[in-house]
Structure 1
């Protein structure tokens, strides 16, 4: 497989601004030469949209998911999914059929928030916390034996940057630079009667501010009351935050970004991006004042649309093979690679690190034609090409907008833990079709129209992200 070359940082502004000296490091205009036109506005608006998209999406998601209305949970509590998503579900995009999620939004501005995770007694679970820029600040990624066998009981404290207080004994400290943290825990389930066991584990997850814990690290009545145990329903995304962000105009988007930055400052390696935001009139905590002259307004609109298109476009440094695309080792830790960070937020809100999960997508067959349920396909894994995991893997089909098929008779994520039958030579043929194949084994049911596939690898091995492995092509029969 050819690994895509890495390209970052993505800002093109210095090239566009040669001669106007608005950004440090760009060439100054020669004496007596008039500066260039205001064409720089388009590039800076576009770059700033890509830079700010993850924060705006997270802020909209947090607002949608927190509160006392149906489907919401208060800050510093959890909401537990009590069942697998129904047929036709589309929020969040590409609903997960392998796990039940517990999710909550923490506010660490006043004091640390403590999370206690139970012993899963061998059942697979991963948990992670993201800052408001979608960087994974903590996860349960652990040595291979522990990742496969489940998680041991542990307690974590998310503390504001620079906090000097004392935590209870045996509590792991995780410092967070943003005011809010998105916490996600996912527990593997086979559905049906197995869901009851997952619910018991969910009730064992406890969340509370530091003030609700005593000096010995025991939960008091307030901590138990604050856990959010028992709140049911999809905890990952109430409504459609991505659609809400897409509906914002330029002023609405950049004002939302400016207000969110006030509580959630950017990383230390982002000063150039913040400088560019200032150039276009976006300052933390203030209403955006975008360039508004007769020519500037058109350039702002053009740059805004360009930024939106770039966020939805796969960046050059994705891993690729046989039509599949996936994010490699940089997942969850993006640094100044703003294009990759924005694309990950757009396609996979809450994406974990590559130690926890890999998600590969394909929407075309081996001949480059769009996958469609009118056809039958086979994915042939040789014995040496099976997904490299320490946990488990699955393949799920979605409509082109990321929904489960609303017309499908079943809701299936096919994988190695639900009856996969190998051939005599150890290979595996996965049948992809709208109608059940003869024999019914190794079947991924798909919509009757265009669709895409998502291959999930839980606790993947290094070759899944270092470029030495690739999924096989989807072959039309």
Structure 2
């Protein structure tokens, strides 16, 4: 891909900050090295970390997932989950127990890359593609393409911006401004004998660059479960990209960001954020030169720590209710809300749009106490408060680190597909406990220590993400 450079004007435009959630306040532009105060450096390093975190996470994820080693796959191929994740699974965080996933990284630097999805014959499935800034470029739930009872066969062409050429008939063109694209397809499964049917759907997915497309498509590379290449759950990449970022110091992080910026241009809405990067010595494709004076070096260190804390902190514009938190209508399409984008990348890598899925979390009971498996809880859904979905919903318990319980004898995502027993008035009581309750109905098994719950709503209705509906509180018994 042609090297992309942006010319950034040497001034700071405060007006550009109107409506931008990331940058609070507008510092005066430094007129020279001597005017750079410790506070100025701290703020701009922190802002730049929040701005760049999604790109660095995606770049590390791509690097970890692509190659020829076990657990990796070449660019422009897919890796298929062969089974649901086992108890104790830690990668990716909050493994998905509802679907089998097919995941891959596409390189569109030279030519379009095409993906053909098969008809799923009524089985729920979804697919999405993210650019390197974690924005959802395309999904099967895009307006005009919404289907709950399975997908129809379709072909999508991911095309480098500005490309002129001819695509196969009926292929939907999706223009991409970053070199790489992360593609993820999920097929509903109940596990057990049902896995074989889900795998057949996976085998029908085809991917190839345009030059290798022959009408039926090049056969996708298959994961080999004997070599450890088979995935489980909702993969982002092999390894732990978030842990790799946590191990980087300021120079390591911003050097990684500068290299990734060279091939993965940000949005045209981002010139002010790029100006701030330039102010602290970060330019696409170049080695970084962070401020190094005694006071400025302290500002870099403090700002870097502050940026890390900010991406891990839920922003104020998350939806919240009864202790639950979830991303609302802006999921997958963040614009200049860098704080929300950074947090979503940190907490839910690859988060879909609201038409695909809404994902709510809770770690405290109705009294504000941390959820713990030594206690028993109930979640009471009134007849009119059941999760509003066009697809289905589930609740899964994880450790505070996002792992499935390693001591559990079973792995369960309880939901409306599990024979949920309603009360006579149509309400539903979900039992949350480490030990199976009497009768065993409507049970979410949890770790014996601290835990959190994740409510997944597939193909949610608008009220699930516009703030008009809230999940009920988790009540301690």
**Shorter-normalised TM range:** over 0.9
Does 2:227 correspond to 1:229?
A: no
Please give the TM-score of this superposition, normalised by the length of structure 1. 0.92
Give the match for residue 93 of structure 2.
93
**C-alpha offsets along residues 404-460 of structure 1, whole Å, 9 cap, x if unaligned?**
000111110000001110000000000000000010000000000000000000000
Tell me if structure 1 keeps the 8 A contact 2:422–2:429. Answer: yes
Quote the Cα distance in structure 2 between the aligned partners of 1:207 and 1:20: 50
User: 1:9 Cα shift?
Assistant: 2.9
Query: What's the offset of the Cα at 1:287?
Result: 1.2
C-alpha distance in structure 1 between counterparts of 2:387 and 2:398, whole Å:
20
Q: 1:37-85 CA deviation, whole Å, 9 max, x = no partner?
A: 3420000000000000000000000000000000000000000000001
Match of 1:126 in 2: 126
SS in 1 for 2:61: helix
Are residues 1:274 and 2:286 paired? Answer: no
In structure 2, what is the Cα distance between the partners aligned to 1:195 and 1:66?
A: 25
1:414 maps to 2:414: yes
The CA distance in 2 between the partners of 1:9 and 1:328, in whole Å, is 15
Aligned to 2:21: 9
SS of the aligned residue for 1:81 comes to strand
SS in 2 for 1:256: helix
What does residue 171 of structure 2 align with?
171
- Judging changes above 3 Å, is the alpha-carbon distance between structure 1 residues 255 and 372 closer, same or farther for their aligned structure 2 residues? same
Aligned residues of 1:376 and 1:433 also touching (Cα < 8 A): yes
**2:367 aligned partner:** 367
Contact 1:80–1:101, Cα closer than 8 Å, also in 2: yes
Question: Where does residue 460 of structure 1 map in the other structure?
Answer: 460
| Per-residue deviation, 1:148 | 1.8
Match of 1:303 in 2: 303
**C-alpha displacement of 1:146:** 5.5
Q: Deviations over 1:360-389 (max 9, x none)?
A: 000000000000000000000000000000
Q: Alpha-carbon deviations, 1:383-409, whole Å to 9, x = none?
A: 000000000000000000000000111
Distance 1:197 1:190 in 2: 10
Structure 2 residue runs without a partner (length 5+): 1-17
Maintained 8 Å contact 1:65/1:237: yes
Flag structure 1 segments of 5+ consecutive residues without an equivalent. 1-5, 23-33
What is the root-mean-square deviation in Å for CA atoms of aligned residues? 1.6
Q: Is the 8 A contact 1:13 1:40 kept in 2?
A: no
Structure 1 pair 373/91, CA: closer, same or farther in 2 (3 Å)? Answer: same
1:218, CA displacement in angstroms?
A: 3.4
Aligned residues: 452
The answer as to whether partners of 1:13 and 1:44 remain within 8 angstroms in 2 is: no
Query: What is the distance in 2 between the residues matched to 1:253 and 1:35?
Result: 25
TM-score (norm 2): 0.92
Note the alpha carbon deviations across 1:98-153, whole angstroms, 9 max, x for none: 00000000000000000000000000000000000000000000579952210000
Please give the alpha-carbon distance, in whole angstroms, between the structure 1 residues aligned to 2:104 and 2:22: 32
Q: Does the Cα contact within 8 Å between 1:158 and 1:175 map onto a contact in 2?
A: yes
Task: Report if aligned partners of 2:37, 2:295 keep a CA contact under 8 Å in 1.
Answer: no
Where does structure 1 differ by over 4 angstroms across 4 or more consecutive aligned residues? 19-22, 142-146
- The 1-side partners of 2:464 and 2:81 are apart by 29
2:6 alignment partner in structure 1: none
Secondary structure (helix, strand or coil) at the match of 2:69 reads coil
**3-state DSSP of counterpart to 1:39:** helix
Q: Cα distance 1:165–1:412, how it changes in 2: closer, same or farther (>3 A)?
A: same
Judging changes above 3 Å, is the alpha-carbon distance between structure 1 residues 339 and 457 closer, same or farther for their aligned structure 2 residues?
A: same
Q: Which structure 2 residues correspond to residues 77-476 of structure 1 after superposition, within 5 A?
A: 77-141=77-141, 147-214=147-214, 217-219=215-217, 223-224=218-219, 227-232=220-225, 233-234=230-231, 235-476=235-476
Query: Is the contact between residue 38 and residue 298 of structure 2 (CA under 8 Å) also seen in structure 1?
Result: no
Structure 2 counterparts to residues 15-34 of structure 1, below 5 A: 17-18=27-28, 20=30
Q: 1:19 to 1:80 in 2, by over 3 A?
A: closer
Q: How much does 1:298 deviate?
A: 1.0
